[in-house]
Amino acid sequence: MFDIWRRAGLATAMAAAALCACAPASKPVTAPAPALTAQGLSDPMLIAITARFDPAIRDLARRHDPGLRRADTWGRPQGWSNLDLREVPDLGFATQEGDGAVAVNNLRPFAGLPIRPMRPFVLNADPDDSARALHCMTQAIYFEAAREPVRGQQAVAQVVLNRVRHPAYPKSICGVVYQGSARPTGCQFTFTCDGALRWAPQPTLWRQAQDVARRALAGFVDKDVGSATHYHAAYVVPYWAPTLVKMTQVGQHIFYRWTGPWGEPPAFNGRYAGREADLSPELLASLDPRTQGGGPATHQITLAVAGELRTYTVADPGAPGNERTRVLGALYAPRRQPTADEVKRINDSLATMEKGLEPTPQSASPAPAKSTPGPKAEVAANLPGL
């Protein structure tokens, strides 16, 4: 201990002395380097000298004292000191599998937000669509959760139904299950693109999955996962997990929902469209707009308000679901978007209104009020039918 203190005191004194020696001439030097050597370098002498230093100088010297440094021992990943801040750091977590993935998933806490149950989904389709929908739902349950308890299988079925109703996903059971399956990566349900369909299912487990699928399409609601639209096994760490709301874990699967209003039950207002056999090339090659694309389609307009230019985000009414889904902070046009000419007319009308509201000098005999329409009437007359 005495050795450590002696080295630390020596380094502190020498660093402080160097700082003093480099100080501007206008400032008094209290402990020049020659004075230190002349007085000796014993521990008591060094301690006495450093005690007289300004606290800020002493702390700065100790900060650069190699004798007081120690290696980081709190388990930072290898290569932390060489992070390239020009790239998004992932610390290798996205490639973790097995026990490492379980540890990483445990580090990410559940959101603790309420899990609200969804409305029952009752399939109302012709016999062909009904049979195909049941088959695709059974496939999803079997290949994703055949070895899971019934609760785990019901949770997977609920995710499929939630996607059918969410504006961002296809409007059929088979469309949801096979979305992105033509892509080498990006299929929404792994079994559709990893070759699992080449293997014949085990009859007993298939029948159990089929029973769960039949109940789900007849109105059964799994309250464990609420509005979840994503899940993954607890022994993998997908790159998209931190971008969603971590809701709960059922069996070996962790369930997530969209962030913000689009993750809440009111946003799930899409209608089942049927046409289960209509798996177009575009659908088979499409992406998940939440984890591989963007959010609701939007654009921006700039308006002059109160003498300032303000930019507003305007939702695209042509995007699926935007005609009824409302997201906080966005403007919505029920029928169509304003043209550039209409935006100019709105700005001109607002400018006219602001000029009319400016105070005018008081005259001795104020002129009688005119019966012509005022600025507000002009604005109303020029606003487009939005």
DSSP output for 172-224: SHHHHHTTTTTSSS--SSGGGTSSGGGSPPPHHHHHHHHHHHHHHHBT---TT
Confidence at residue 143, expressed as pLDDT on a 0 to 100 scale: 94
In tens, the pLDDT along 231-279 reads 999 988 888 888 899 999 999 999 999 988 889 999 999 999 989 998 9
In a domain, 320, yes or no: yes
User: 């000098």: which residue's tokens?
Assistant: 361
Confidence at residue 152, expressed as pLDDT on a 0 to 100 scale: 96
Mean pLDDT confidence for 186-204: 89
In a domain, 203, yes or no: yes
Q: Pseudo-torsion of CA 237, 243, 245, 247, nearest 10°? A: -10
Confidence at residue 228, expressed as pLDDT on a 0 to 100 scale: 96
Q: Is pLDDT above 90 for 106?
A: no
Confidence at residue 329, expressed as pLDDT on a 0 to 100 scale: 47
Residue 165 three-state SS: helix
Strand order in the sheet with 253-257: 230-233, 253-257, 245-250
Q: Is pLDDT above 90 for 7?
A: no
Confidence at residue 253, expressed as pLDDT on a 0 to 100 scale: 95
Mean pLDDT confidence for 183-187: 76
- How far is Cα 32 from Cα 368, in angstroms, rounded to an integer? 88
Looking at 46, 67, 88, which one is the last position of a domain? 67
- Angle at Cα 73 formed by Cα 69 and Cα 76, nearest 5°? 115
State which residues form the domain around 7: 2-67
In tens, the pLDDT along 21-67 reads 444 444 554 545 555 556 666 777 777 777 788 888 877 777 776 66
> If you ran DSSP here, which 8-state letter would residue 234 be given?
T
Element (H, E) at 385: none
Number of domains in the chain: 3
In tens, the pLDDT along 348-366 reads 888 887 777 665 555 445 5
Confidence at residue 147, expressed as pLDDT on a 0 to 100 scale: 92
Instruction: Name which residue leads in pLDDT, 133 or 186.
Output: 133
Rg of the chain on CA atoms, in Å: 34
- 182 and 148 in a common domain: yes
Instruction: Name which residue leads in pLDDT, 342 or 88.
Output: 342
Q: Is pLDDT above 60 for 81?
A: no
- 331 and 241 in a common domain: no
Contact status, residue 350 vs residue 304, Cβ threshold 8 Å: yes
- How far is Cα 221 from Cα 158, in angstroms, rounded to an integer? 7
What CATH number is given to the structural domain containing 197? 1.10.10.2520
In tens, the pLDDT along 162-181 reads 999 999 999 999 999 999 99
Looking at 67, 92, 119, which one is the last position of a domain? 67
Question: Whole-prediction pTM value?
Answer: 0.56
Mean pLDDT confidence for 151-169: 95
Instruction: Name which residue leads in pLDDT, 136 or 306.
Output: 136
- How far is Cα 145 from Cα 243, in angstroms, rounded to an integer? 24
Amino acid at site 142: Y
Confidence at residue 56, expressed as pLDDT on a 0 to 100 scale: 83
- 280 and 159 in a common domain: yes
E strand map for the chain: 230-233, 245-250, 253-257, 298-305, 308-315
